[in-house]
Amino acid sequence: MTAARKALVLCLSLAPAACGDGADPGTGTVEVITVSGGSDVDPDGYTVHLAGARAETVPANGSVTFAGVTAGDHEVSLTGLRGNCTVPEAHPRLVRVGEGEIMHTRFEVVCIHAPLLGRMVYTKVDPSAGREVTGDIYIMTPDGSSQHRITSTVLVESYASIAPDGARILFHGADWELSDVRDDFDLYVMNADGTGLVALTTDRTVDDLEPAWSPDGSVIAFAGDTPHPDGSYDRDIYFIDPDGTGRVNITRTPDVSESYPAWSPDGGQILFHGDTDSSNALFVMNADGTGITAVTSDTNYVGMGSWSPDGSRIVFEGLVPELAYYDLFLIDVDGSNRVRLTNLPGSEQNPSWSPDGSRIVFEYYPPGYRYWGPVKSEVYSVRPDGTTLTNVSRTPDTNETLGANPWAP
C-alpha cells in the first residue's frame, strides 16, 4: 500500500475533522444483490440498510444501488425477512468503498416451505360435545374462509400461536378429564398439520401458560408458576428453547404475578402484564429481564397486550367499570397517546396485530356470554383506526379463542 493510500485509510477511520488537510475522501457506489431460493420466497422482498444512507427496498431476486457513498468502510445489512427465510452467511457485514469505485455485495437468502403462511390459528370449543371441557385447534384464512380442524385429542388445547417459520404451532394444553393423566397446563409444539406433537414442559406440579415465539423463532417466552418453600406460588415470565431445554426464569419477582408475554418486533423487548394484590399494569422489559418500565397506570384492570409490527404502539384490553366489559385501547410504547379503539356492547379481549399492521384481530364476547350458554365468543377484526369491524370466524354455536401469535405472515 502506498503512503498516500495509507494516509487516506487512516483519515477515513477518523472523524472528517481529524483529517489534517480536510481533504474530501471522495465517493463511490455500492450495489447490493439479493438471490433467494427454496420454497415460499417472500414476494415483498427485503430492506437493505447501508450505514450513512437511507434504507432501500430490494426484490427477493434483484439489486439496489447506493450512489454517492463516502469512501471508506460501511456496514450493510438485510432486514424484513419473513420467518421462513434466513441468510446463511453472517450479517451485518462491512463493505469497503473506494473513491470512484463500484462495490458489489451479495446476500443469498434460503427459504423453507411454510404451510401456515397467510393463515390464522385459533381454538374452537364446543360445549355441546359432551365433554366437561373441550378445545381443539383450527386454522383458517384471515377472512374466515377455509376453516378446518387440525387436532382431535383428549387435551384441552388453547392459546395457539404460529411459529415465525410458518411451519409449527405452539400452544398450552391440559387434560381435565382423565384422573391418571396430569391435569396441569404444559407447553406443546406440533407441525402445521397436527402431527409430531411434542410436550415441551412436563412438570405436573405447576402450570406453564401463554407461550409466545420470539421473532426469530429461537426462544419461547411463557408465564410459569414458581413454587416457594412455604407451598405458595407466584407466576413469572420464563424462557425455554423450542426443543424443551434451557428453561430459565427471567423476571424472578415473588411479589408480582406476570403473565401474557409478547415480544417486540425486533426481539429486544417483552411486553407483559404484572399484577400485585393492590395494582396491575402493562410493563415492558429488555429481553434479559432488565429495565422493567410501566406502560400503563390504570386503577382499572388491564390485560393482554400486543405490539404493532413497527414496534411503536401497543393494543391491549382494558376493563370499563361502568359497563363491566372490556374494550380495546391503543397506546404508544412510552405510555402516551392512549385512545379507545372499540366500544362494542360486549367484551373485546386478547388482541393481536396482523403482520402488515392493517388489522387487529381479537376475541369478542357478546352481552349475555356464558361458556355453557347460548351466546358464544367469536373471532373479530378491526382496523387500527376503529373502522371496518368484521366477524371473522362467523361460528355462533361454538366458542373461539386466540393466542399470542395467531396470524402468520
pLDDT one-digit tens code per residue, 305-324: 999 999 999 999 999 988 88
Segment 113-138 mean pLDDT:
82
Is-contact 187 197, C-beta < 8 A? no
Residue 378 clears pLDDT 80, i.e. is over it: yes
Just give the CATH number of 120-401: 2.120.10.30
Residue 130 clears pLDDT 50, i.e. is over it: yes
Is-contact 353 311, C-beta < 8 A? no
pLDDT at 84 (0 to 100)? 92
More confident: 376 or 154: 376
Average pLDDT, the chain: 89
Superfamily (CATH) of domain 3-111: Immunoglobulins (2.60.40.10)
Residue 8 clears pLDDT 60, i.e. is over it: no
Whose CA is closest to 199, among 207, 189, 191? Answer: 189
Q: What are the extents of the domains in the chain?
A: 3-111, 120-401
Segment 345-349 mean pLDDT:
95
Reported confidence tier of residue 115, pLDDT bands at 50, 70, 90: very high
Contacts of 73 (CB under 8 A, 6+ apart): 12, 13, 94, 95, 96, 97
Reported confidence tier of residue 135, pLDDT bands at 50, 70, 90: confident
Contacts of 297 (CB under 8 A, 6+ apart): 281, 335
